[in-house]
Amino acid sequence: MKAITYTQYGLPEVLQLKEVPKPAPKDNEVLVRIKATAVNSGDIRLRKADPSAVRFFFGLLRPKVNILGSVFSGEVESAGKLVKRFKVGDQVFGHTDMRFGAYAEYITVPESGSLSLKPGNISHDEAAAIPFGGVTALHFLKKVKLQPNQKVLVVGASGAVGSAAVQLAKSYGAIVTAVCSTSNIDLVKSIGADKVIDYTREDFTRNTDIYDLIFDAVNTVSVFRSLKSLTENGTMILSAAGMTEMLQGLWISATSKRKVITGVISHSTEDIDFLKALIEKGLFKPVIDRNYTLEQIAAAHAYVEKGHKRGNIAISI
């Protein structure tokens, strides 16, 4: 089968299209013929080994995982003898968790993994764009237990995680203010934002508005300066936090009534099923900036690395 492989960390050019053996499913796995995947910030970090701590988990000198890609949508081609949830021909989508391997024509996925039937009202490209941002935003928002009419600020609202956070917060009945650039105002309004702050013209920390939740999806806010925009018992989510922000968050949580949530996300079948139900109800829609082919994946990485993508970058296979 065709796959995009890499054997050294570096620039997008380290990604090479090669023929590799087609995987065979174990008794509890399905073999999925991938129709689409997506390029996410996690793929960029692993390719570059940035931050350097990546090397301690994925290979000190060279990557242990040679095929990137953490999300996919496709069709079940075969199933292990113990599989009961899926059958040959099912259209499915999901997340590979930490296994990666979706930059390829085929992938094996455990039946109990982050896998669900694809909603019938969206394409494979759209389905592949959902799990990264959707699961990340959902993971953090579940910890907050949002209530109707609570005020939420989403920073980086036009990205994969931010656009998902806006829509999920709205599905809980929250009043959402989105922070983005001028060119993305119409986009974030179209996905449900009640108010938009153009960060090129206004700093939200300098106005008098306060929020029950601040969700920073892109690690751009000053944690301490943003506290004055948070209610006394409010919560700040730092989904893209570095070590500095994590330590600041621990200090704030330990010394005040406010709570700062960071950390590594987890995935589950239930999360994918939850997103599927929202999509089918018309309450969540994937945002796709550009589409590339598998052969163009180095160009897709280069575009994502510029840091200005809107939503997701889909890869058709």
What digits encode the pLDDT tens for the residues 204-248? 999 999 999 999 999 999 999 999 999 999 999 999 988 899 999
51-80 average pLDDT score: 93
Angstrom distance (rounded) from CA 290 to CA 311: 9
Residue partners of 7: CB distance under 8 A and separation at least 6: 14, 62, 63, 66
Indicate the class that CATH gives domain 2-130+286-316: alpha beta
Distance CA 14, CA 63 (A): 11
Q: What's the whole-model pTM score?
A: 0.92
State which H helix or E strand residue 3 sits in.
strand 2-5
Pairing between β-strand 151-155 and β-strand 91-95 as defined by DSSP bridges = unpaired
What are residue 197's DSSP bridge partners? 179
Closest CA relative to residue 315, chosen from 1, 20, 72: 72
- Whether residue 66 is predicted with pLDDT greater than 90 in this model: the reply is yes
Q: 241-296, pLDDT tens digit by residue?
A: 888 999 998 999 999 999 999 988 888 899 999 999 999 999 999 999 999 999 99
User: Residue 270 is encoded by which pair of tokens?
Assistant: 């239930």
pLDDT of residue 265: 86
For the chain, which residues make up each domain, given as ranges?
A: 2-130+286-316, 132-261
Q: Where are the alpha helices (DSSP H) in 160-204?
A: 160-171, 185-190
Per-residue confidence (pLDDT) for residue 278, from 0 to 100: 96
- What's the CATH class of domain 132-261? alpha beta
**Rounded Cα gap, residues 25 and 66, in angstroms:** 19
For residue 35, name the pLDDT band (cuts at 50, 70, 90): very high
- CA–CA gap between residue 28 and residue 80 (Å, rounded): 5
* Residue 105 pLDDT level (bands cut at 50, 70, 90): very high
Length of the chain: 317
pLDDT at 86 exceeding the cut of 90? yes
pLDDT of residue 156: 96
